[in-house]
Structure 1
Amino acid sequence: MRFLAVCTALAAATALTGCGQSAGSDGGSGKVTLWLMKGSASDDFIAKFTADFEKQHPGTDLEVRIQEWKGIGDKVNAVLGGKAEAGAGADVIEVGNTQVAQYVETGGVSEVTLEGLREWGSKDWLKGLSDPGSVNGAQYGVPWYAANRVVIYNKDLFANAGIKTPPKNRQDWISATQKLDKGDQQGIYLPGQNWYVLAGFVWDEGGELAVETGGQWVGALDEDKALAGMDFYKQLQALGDGPRNADEETPPQSEVFARGQVAQIIAPPGQAAQIEAANPALKGKLGFFPVPGKTSEKAGSVFTGGSDLIIPEKTRNRALAVDVITALVSEKWQTELARTMSYVPNKTTLAHVVDGNDGAAAMAPGAAQGRATPKSARWAEVEAKNPIKPYMTAVLTGQDPRQAAKAASDTVSQVLSSDR
């Protein structure tokens, strides 16, 4: 879902081969409307992109409309269903990566063409963006940008503990955090219900939150591999004083870190600005490193947030809509967006463009291992009920892990399989 003012968008283009067009073709002239979510791109980026697109497409009017997240689902569904008020439609829409299946189930999203996949560099797409955009073997979402969690650390506390380089694997991470956890100082502030972080640990172990079998989704938190992920979370969480019955927003972990006695938190790098605003004395003293994996060869798995782009089936100008996406995912504009907004580009081959931005650079290795939540159209209902949070609290307070996981998995299965 969304964090750090970052969400995702899914996009789709219909079988353009049948329309005689392919990605990157000259869409001709006319008006094309692009919906972007508030905070996804700066005003300067939008102005530059609009001017360049219209220059490359003489006679074309590109209208960019900024949308609020609140109530966006109803607005998108109105467009997809052809029920938007006159003049309120869209040809390309940014949506959340984990919302793709939900919109596809509702109907009205175009499937991406094979021509588009090749043109847009799909073989190098970040899986955490591309996988949620694929439903039943068909691609509907075109990845636009990504953001994920990293470890934000206090350089002074690391130096005082004799830790010269950030850890690259779990064993070294635990050892370093043990050194940092002393007296009034917390080795790490990890709230007991940060389930997005848990998801990464579960995926690293080869486990899943839920799996689809024979067309039916079932919870998988009680499987051995998923339980191993929870066990590591428990080890790490014990090396600090994070609450066992609250998430990262209760209280906001950036405020806790800003007090100066926390060595690490796991968060999007954008939270560094919040920390520095709360405690200016920490400016220049914050570092970033990818969430360590089980070995030093690759970073740990993380939940990927970001955006995909979709094209409604009822677009007024399909060719221009495809050209808008082609431009937005091009190396030129991917580089501009990543550097302007400190995002991770949509392709692994563009990871180098954020070199020099410490926070974004730390995201890139994790983004390559990024994942998203299960592609069920009803996963949003699971998050609303969220049986994972009390499961985590139960384990951290000494209850039987397998029994607690089974109860959570049963609830997940019930929600995903229930009739609306």
Structure 2
Amino acid sequence: MPLALVLSSSVLLAGCGLLPGGDESRTVTVWLMQGSASKEFVDRFTEQFEKDHGDIDLDIRVQEWNGIATKVKKALKDESADGPDVIEVGNTQVAQYVDEGGLYDLTLESARDLGMDDWLPGLAEPGRYDGAQYGIPWYAANRVVIYNKDLFEKAGITRPPRTREEWLADTQKLNSGGSQGIYLAGQDWYTLAGFIWDEGGDLAKETKEDSGDWRGSLHSAAALRGMDFYQRLQALGRGPRGADEQHPEQAGVFAKGDVAQIIAVPGAARAIEEKNPGLKGKLGYFPIPGKKAGEPGAVFTGGSDFVVPEASDDHKGAVAVIQALAGKKWQTDLARTMNYVPNKAKLASAVSGEEGAAAMAVGAANGRATPNSPRWAAVEADNPIKGYMTAVLMGGDAAAEARKASARITRQLGVGGGGI
């Protein structure tokens, strides 16, 4: 599953203490997640960082995503010298780790001095909790529309749609000659979330700032408008109403060659082309359209933030590593190496030469994250949004089904009684 960090030399020396008085070398241990950065990137960064910081040796350890939450929680309570000083975590995981204790407050070192006002909101907001910044944005990824250029040409569509209404009209045109205008599974709730945000709604709302009292809000008028658009779009294809985008895996469906569009991260194109080499060079990308031309639709932003354990014995060294990795030089390098979205919209030009990543960067500027409750993982584990979507697509009353789902979300987020 979200920074050109500018510090004057005086702030760097006095505020972050990156040049201690002694010459003794120390080791900063960094946990990066598998797949986040190539070995070549890690080697380049390590060599340059150690050259720039002669008193710091880097120990970068790659971690598996499977079971990482348990491992991170243990590390946050480990006060031994062996523990990590910097940890890469999923952007939506930060609130949970803060709530359970053990994260270092990076507000003074990271916030305004490190350019927080320019961070992508889908990365910055989940890293903020109770007014403090615990997570520093590293990179983002989000969904775009992947389309079959040949099918668009056959339908007489010469450019991607600019608005939602154009998108619906084009998708209707694409439903011809046996082709499917769009493959959209009935339970693709991340895509639904974007439509809800576009309408001014949300999946859940905190009753007042920093209260910790969250309530499901799928039944709001704005959220219902988002569901209505989802229903109209989904009806223009033959996606299953009772399954998500992984069942069956939508890249495989698209690879058959008779589907004009899917909503996915650009990386799905690799799987499509592996399944059907005949589609190489025939895939295009565009940001999910918004309600108005020139305004991309809201999207769920996945990606990573950096956090620092309170138990680390080298907070200053940890901040130095984050400063470098989240700064312009290494943000640009990472984006070009991995086709990710940099952590600031102003750095999006780094991926301008990659059509899929460039479309992703446009959408990321209007990115959001799931509700910043430490208990949101419980909602995803037994997700009432999926059941709500299927019920509506199968003909159920949207308002009634939304109220049921909102009540379940409220209970899952820990509010007694489940009222909405």
Alignment TM-score > 0.5, same fold:
yes
Q: Could you list the per-position Cα deviations for residues 188-221 of structure 1 after superposition, in whole angstroms to 9, with x for gaps in the alignment?
A: 0000000000000000000000001142100000
1:21 is displaced (CA, Å) by 5.0
Q: Within 5 Å, give how 1:53-64 maps onto structure 2.
A: 53-64=49-60
Tell me whether 1:32 sits opposite 2:28 in the alignment.
yes
8 A contact 2:214–2:415 mirrored in 1: no
Q: 1:52 aligns with which of 43, 48, 53?
A: 48
Q: In the TM superposition, what is the alpha-carbon distance from 1:138 to its structure 2 partner?
A: 1.2
State the partner residue of 1:68.
64
Contact 2:179 2:259 in 1 (8 A): yes
1:338 equivalent to 2:335? Answer: yes
| Structure 2 CA distance for partners of 1:24 and 1:252, relative to 1, 3 Å | farther
Deviation at residue 417 of structure 1 after TM alignment: 1.5
Does structure 1 retain, via aligned residues, the 8 Å contact 2:30–2:87?
yes
Mapping for residues 141-290 of structure 1, pairs under 5 Å: 141-214=135-208, 215=211, 216-290=213-287
CA deviation profile, 1:284-339 (whole Å, cap 9, x unmatched): 00000000000012100000000000011111211111100000011110000001
Between the aligned partners of 1:310 and 1:362, the Cα distance in structure 2 is 28
**Deviation sequence 1:155-176 (CA, Å, 0-9, x none):** 0000111111101110111111
CA distance in 2, matches of 1:364, 1:26: 36
- Name the structure 2 match of 1:323: 320
Distance 2:16 2:175 in 1: 54
Query: Quick one: distance in 1 between partners of 2:359 and 2:164?
Result: 16
Structure 2 CA distance for aligned equivalents of residues 255 and 156 of structure 1: 18
Q: Distance in 2 between matches of 1:284 and 1:87?
A: 51
The residue type equivalent to 2:184 in the other structure is L
Q: What letter corresponds to residue 90 of structure 1 in structure 2?
A: P
Partners of 1:21 and 1:314 in 2: how far apart? 22
Give a deviation string over 1:259-295, Cα, whole Å, max 9, x none.
0000000000000000000000000000000000000
User: In the alignment, is the contact (CA less than 8 A) between 1:23 and 1:326 conserved in 2?
Assistant: no
Instruction: Give runs of aligned pairs for residues 101-180 of structure 1, distance below 5 A.
Output: 101-180=95-174
The answer on whether the counterparts of 1:110 and 1:311 sit within 8 Å (CA) in structure 2 is yes
> How far is the alpha carbon of 1:348 from its aligned partner?
1.0
> Which SS does the other structure have where 1:315 is aligned?
coil
Report how far residue 139 of structure 1 moved. Answer: 1.1
Contact 1:35–1:94 (8 Å) recurs in 2: yes
Matched to 1:382, the amino acid is V
After superposition, the C-alpha distances for 1:129-188 in whole angstroms (9 at most, x for unaligned) are 000011111111100000000000000000111111101110111111010012421000
Contact 1:259 1:279 in 2 (8 A): yes
Are the counterparts in 1 of residues 122 and 369 from structure 2 also a CA contact under 8 Å? yes
Distance across 1 between alignment mates of 2:164 and 2:243: 24
Q: Retained in 1: the 8 A contact 2:103–2:307?
A: yes
Pair 1:375 & 2:369 matched: no
Letter in 2 for 1:416: L
Give the C-alpha shift of residue 115 in structure 1: 4.2
- Residues paired across the two proteins, number: 402
Deviations 1:376-416, CA, capped at 9 Å, x for gaps: 11000000110000100011011100011011000000110
Match of 2:263, SS state, is: strand
Partner SS, residue 75 of structure 2: helix
Native 8 Å contact 1:24 1:323 kept in 2: no
Change (3 A) 1:339 1:24: farther
Residues in 1 aligned to 2:152 and 2:82: alpha-carbon distance in whole angstroms: 53
Once residues 184 and 298 of structure 2 are traced to their aligned partners in structure 1, the CA distance between those partners, rounded to angstroms, is 17
Displacement of 1:418: 5.1
Counterparts in 2 of 1:397 and 1:315: CA distance versus 1, 3 Å:
same
For 1:102 and 1:115, the matched residues in 2 are separated by 22
- More displaced stretch, 308-317 vs 240-249: 308-317
> Retained in 2: the 8 A contact 1:201–1:230?
yes
What is the SS of the residue equivalent to 1:46?
Answer: helix
Shift of 1:32: 0.3
d(CA) in 2 for partners of 1:186, 1:26? 61
Matches within 5 A, 1:345-356: 345-356=342-353
Q: Provide the rounded CA distance (Å) in 2 between the counterparts of 1:363 and 1:150.
A: 6
SS of the residue corresponding to residue 34 of structure 1 reads strand
- Ranges of 4+ aligned residues in structure 1 off by more than 4 Å: none
Partner in structure 2 of residue 78 of structure 1:
74
Q: Give the letter for the 1:297 counterpart.
A: G
Measured on the aligned residues, the alpha-carbon RMSD in Å equals 1.6
Which amino acid is the alignment partner of residue 26 of structure 1?
Answer: L
Q: Does structure 1 conserve the Cα–Cα contact (< 8 Å) formed by 2:110 and 2:133?
A: no
In structure 1, the gaps of 5 or more residues are 1-6, 9-16
Q: Which residue identity is paired with 2:189?
A: W
**8 Å CA contact retained: 1:209, 1:219:** yes
Contact kept, 8 Å, 2:107 with 2:132, in 1: the verdict is: no
SS in 1 for 2:73: helix
Secondary structure (helix, strand or coil) at the match of 2:58 reads strand
Structure 2 equivalent of residue 22 of structure 1: 15
Is the 1:21–1:319 contact (alpha carbons within 8 Å) kept by the matching residues of 2?
Answer: no
User: Counterparts in 2 of 1:294-313, with a 5 A limit?
Assistant: 294-313=291-310
Please give the TM-score of this superposition, normalised by the length of structure 1.
0.93
Match of 2:388 among 380, 387, 391: 391
Match of 1:358 in 2: 355
1:84-109 deviation digits (Å, cap 9, x = unpaired)? xx564100000011111100001111
2:90 is equivalent to residue 90 of structure 1: no
Q: Which letter does structure 2 place at the counterpart of 1:75?
A: K
Which residue of 2 is the match for residue 14 of structure 1? none
